[in-house]
Amino acid sequence: MERIYRVAKNGDTFHVSEENGDVRRLHLRGATIFDGYDAGDAVAGGLRGCIVLAPVRPSKLVCVGLNYRDHAAEMKKPLPREPMLFLKPPTTVCDPGAAILLPPGVGRVDYESELAVVIGRRAHRVPRARAADCVFGITAVNDVTARDIQNAEIQYTRAKGFDTFAPIGPCILRGGGDGARTVEGWLNGENRQRSTTAQLIFPVDFLIEYISFVMTLEPGDVISTGTPSGVGPLEAGDVFSVRVEGVGELSNPIRAEA
């Protein structure tokens, strides 16, 4: 399985490929990783000598609400007849290991562990049968949510849109859009969420067809597919980790915003 990381080292930012512990710098064939790449020399020290960054900086994060049956029950809401979509702005993106900042005076802020799909080519009204052609790979997202604001408002934009409210990473697992994968959330080392994408109400291929009918998806855009049950509050001093099977662990400390 090939994993793509975006890293910083000695003041340089670049992509690397990791397979079976072999870490190699990638040479891009175009402006972005989505234009193709070739593996170059091994990276001295591997990932240990690098700072791991969010693997993509998407133009938009398209998120799906209430897409696990158990989470809909947890929130005491009926199963949606169609996907419930909302957007997170690019400024919500947070690197692995960087702090999720709790804004002052917003009340309860929750974690939401999610598997996300990274789009690899421009997608406009893509039929479900061809959805896999648009998938570059999968990653993990923490869809951090200001829950008190969400419960008080009809739209989700403010509750979901604070800076640092979308940690992404630590890598992109190439392909991986088909088949069931385990999604877990860990708060301070304690398992709080565990499910599988087999429980999704609307699977990945359906979501790509549905979303690309509404808006064109650009390379690097992210579709976050929803969270299972077990969501809960974050407090300053916590560490929260999202684990997606095959992707690895996305961990972030929680800090009160100064």
pLDDT digits 0-9 by tens, 128-181: 999 999 999 999 999 999 999 999 999 999 999 999 999 999 999 998 767 899
- Please name every residue paired with 3 in a beta bridge, in sequence order, or none if there are none: 18, 173
Name the DSSP class of 48: G
Return all residues near 137 (Cβ < 8 A) that are at least 6 apart: 4, 117, 118, 120, 172, 173, 174, 175, 176, 177
Return all residues near 196 (Cβ < 8 A) that are at least 6 apart: 180, 181, 182, 183
Mean pLDDT computed over 1-16: 96
Taking only the tens place, the pLDDT of each residue in 233-246 is: 999 999 999 999 99
Mean pLDDT computed over 2-18: 97
- Please name every residue paired with 242 in a beta bridge, in sequence order, or none if there are none: 185, 250
Mean pLDDT computed over 202-208: 97
Mean pLDDT computed over 180-203: 96
Select the more confidently predicted residue: 81 or 178.
81
User: What 3-state DSSP class applies to 133?
Assistant: helix
